[in-house]
Amino acid sequence: MNEVSTDIKCLAFYLPQFHPIPENDEWWGKGFTEWTNVGKAKPLFKGHQQPVVPADLGYYDLRIPEVREAQAKMAREYGVHGFIYYHYWFGNGRQLLQRPLTEVIESKKPDFPFCVCWANESWSGIWHGSPDKVLIKQEYPEGDIQQHFDYLIKLFEDPRYIRVNDCPLFIIYDGVGLPDPKAYLTSLRNEALKRGLKGLYIVASNINPDGWDSIATGFDGRISFAYNKVKYDLIRKERKRLFYKVLRTMSSSLFGKQYQKVVRIDQREIVDRILFENNKGTVFPMVLPNWDNTPRSGKNGVVITNTTPELFRLQLLKAIDFLKEKQSSEQFLVIKSWNEWAEGNYVEPDAVNGYAYLNVIKDCLGAIK
């Protein structure tokens, strides 16, 4: 096992979509949760492993406290320092899927560090192949920051909440999409001061490209785009190849050739090409163990093939080396994700790999005793 700095803290994105809500009942049918798409998935090409099946935790319901306790216990034992809960606030006081985290706050259990990533984007019908169908729009109305903080302050004041220099760590999914981002972040920080906090440590998520200057925009740091940079480049090339394949298929349809739209790219090539780079401000590396969003998107999905625990290990070691070389008050290593099952993007145990991905985290970072 490689020796690593005990200052490195592994944070994992956490999806709260595993309980029914009235909105999903209306849009997708009574009782819809993330498991609905996971359970009905089918293999779309030779060797395609679908459906994926959860192991020890089963098809859990996040309304059950024992499930949340079991997840935190598992994460702690295998070296994950804390969860990054996706937080859905759409403006005008409307939010969705807040129940699990609200109950974590109210019950004070589990005793496990956490922060939030504000997933500030509109919801579409992309999970069911209808990306142009807007279900709920992300808005930024006048006075919304104050109303948003009425909820956030309960999280930020919790002793389990992750802080940097005594300021709550607040991740924003779409930094570019904010209205006048720099002014908006200044207003957020001013509101934090009014509420008695020492400030906010605001980090942009992993979706913003390298050319975007997060510091000039007002962020304190960013989650690295390195994995996505390679991933998106390979997806573009594969879609271009498939486009020309369509043309060939159309011209030779009499020969019975068929066109498969699922985009497949190779994890081996991604991991080989990943290069974590320092941009302006603090950069936190992000690693991604696996990806297959065909349970949501069907033949319009993207599958990263040849994902293995060993390739995950190589990513982690690259991220650790990057963190060792940089000077920062905090050294966060971000995993996407803990439990995004319908994207085939998780480290929780499944029926095929068991605890293999968690064991890699434990080997590389050391379990928190």
Query: What's the pLDDT score for residue 357?
Result: 98
Query: What's the pLDDT score for residue 196?
Result: 98
Please name the amino acid found at residue 104: V
Query: What's the pLDDT score for residue 328?
Result: 66
> Does domain 8-225+272-365 correspond to CATH entry 3.40.50.410?
no
The H-or-E segment that residue 204 falls in is strand 201-204
Residue of 361, 346, 262 whose CA lies nearest to 13: 346
DSSP classification of residue 334: E
For residue range 140-195, list pLDDT tens digits in order. 999 999 999 999 999 999 999 999 999 999 999 999 999 999 999 999 999 999 99
**Ordered mean pLDDT values, 10 residues apiece, the chain (369 residues):** 62 98 95 97 96 98 98 97 98 97 98 98 74 88 96 98 97 94 97 98 88 88 93 89 57 45 95 89 93 94 97 96 80 97 98 98 73
Cβ burial, residue 279 (10 Å; 0-12/13-18/19+): middle
Instruction: Round to whole Å and give the CA distance between 231 and 274.
Output: 9
Q: Which residues contact 203 (CB under 8 A, 6 or more apart)?
A: 169, 170, 171, 172, 219, 220, 221, 222, 223, 284
* pTM of the shown model: 0.92
> Measuring CA to CA, how many Å separate 240 from each of 51, 237, 259, 267, 301?
28, 5, 13, 19, 15
Q: Which residues contact 24 (CB under 8 A, 6 or more apart)?
A: 32, 33
Query: What's the pLDDT score for residue 240?
Result: 78
Query: Do the beta carbons of residue 276 and residue 319 sit within 8 Å?
Result: yes
Instruction: Round to whole Å and give the CA distance between 158 and 161.
Output: 5
